[in-house]
Amino acid sequence: MGTSRSGQLAPRLTLCCAVWVLCWAAPDYDDYSQNSTSEQITTAEITPCPRAIPGEKATIDNVTYLLLHEAARSQLSSGVTVLLIPSLYSLVFLLGLPSNGLALWVLATRTEKLTSTIFLMNLAAADLLLISVLPLKIFYYFLGNNWPFGEGLCRVTTAFFYGNMYCSVLLLTCISVDRYLAVVHPFFSRSFRTPTFAAWTCAAVWLCAAGITLPLTLQQQSYPLYRADITLCHDVLPRQEDDGYYFYYFVCLIACAFLAPLAVMLFSYCSVLQALLGSGKRYFHSMKLTALVLVMLTAFYTPSNVLLLVHYSSYQCKLSGSLYISYMVSLAVSTCNSCADPFLYYYISEDFREKVRSTFFNRSKTPSLRTSKETLPQKSSKESLV
């Protein structure tokens, strides 16, 4: 009798264990079982370590959707995402557009074309191009992460956003090297620190920025979110592309367009500071400006790039998109550098401010100004400002 009960109990235990395993292994997504029989959903295998906000592809009636956990959906609709981030972008747009536009116009029409002027004109242009795509991102976030402008414009906006951001970083690196050569090696660099050389350098920077953002235009960037009636642009990407294509792309991008330039800028400005410190209190104002530039660069650009690197390199940790909001806020903060650039590099110069005043108030014509970044020939090269 005991043997008979054992024989019946074993199959039941096996069946219960199988059901428990299947329930435990099922993904924690919304209930998709309510789909009609005509809907064919094909989802990829779930990887254990998602980065940023990972989504699973779902093909329904030949339309590719993204499936998300409820926790990830709540991040997309949080007040930080739909209010704080677009508000930051709006502030950058309202402050950065007139300040950079005026600076570019003065530099292009009212200044002597020196080496520093060429670099600063290109920096103002890069900041303006970055600011020019912010209205699209502002509408996108205010609409609740809904992109109504189509796939093509999503790719262009994403490429312009990252491209001009890293173009600004590269141009700031060129400016720091130019300052290093002018202050630390003034006689050695005099032969090749020419406007023509600066123009060719800027052309190379623009080509480099276009090249490093080209991969963003080759991959699909916008996907409709399943059962949400919104289309996402770049914020949520298929998990398999996150783990493969974008992992290698963003790691290379950060290494080549941020970490290496940051190291060069740190070396250049620290060398300039050392040279100015050896000159005594006479250059205290220049030392303060140099230190301020260094602090601002680090404060604006480091958080977003560090978080992005964590997103795309954390193989052993299970983030499930938990850093998404932190990264997006830091990315919005990094665009504030486009507002700071005009005041750190242009309006800090009394000559530049005088030229602006004379332009708007029709004062007597003043001599063609030199920017605060240029070494004046009648003075020691160490007297140049940041």
pLDDT of residue 42: 41
How many residues would you count in the chain?
386
Mean pLDDT in the chain? 76
**pTM of the predicted protein model:** 0.77
Hey, what are 40's tokens? Answer: 């064919």
Distance, CA of 78 to chain centre: 21
Residues 6+ apart with CB under 8 A from 307: 323, 326, 327, 330
Residues 6+ apart with CB under 8 A from 201: 119, 174
pLDDT in tens, 158-197: 999 999 989 999 999 999 999 999 988 988 888 888 999 9
- Position 6 confidence tier, pLDDT thresholds 50, 70, 90: very low
Strands (E), 61-150: 63-67
Backbone angles phi, psi at 56, to 5 degrees: -100, 135
- Per-position b or e across 60-93, b if 16+ CB within 10 A of its CB: beeeebbbbbeebbebbeeeebbebbbebbbebb
Q: Which domains does the chain have, with CATH numbers?
A: 70-383 (1.20.1070.10)
Q: Which residue has the higher pLDDT, 117 or 251?
A: 117
pLDDT of residue 313: 61
Residues 6+ apart with CB under 8 A from 61: 38, 39, 40
pLDDT in tens, 345-385: 887 777 777 877 776 766 544 444 444 444 333 333 333 43
pLDDT in tens, 251-288: 888 888 899 999 999 999 989 888 888 776 667 777 78
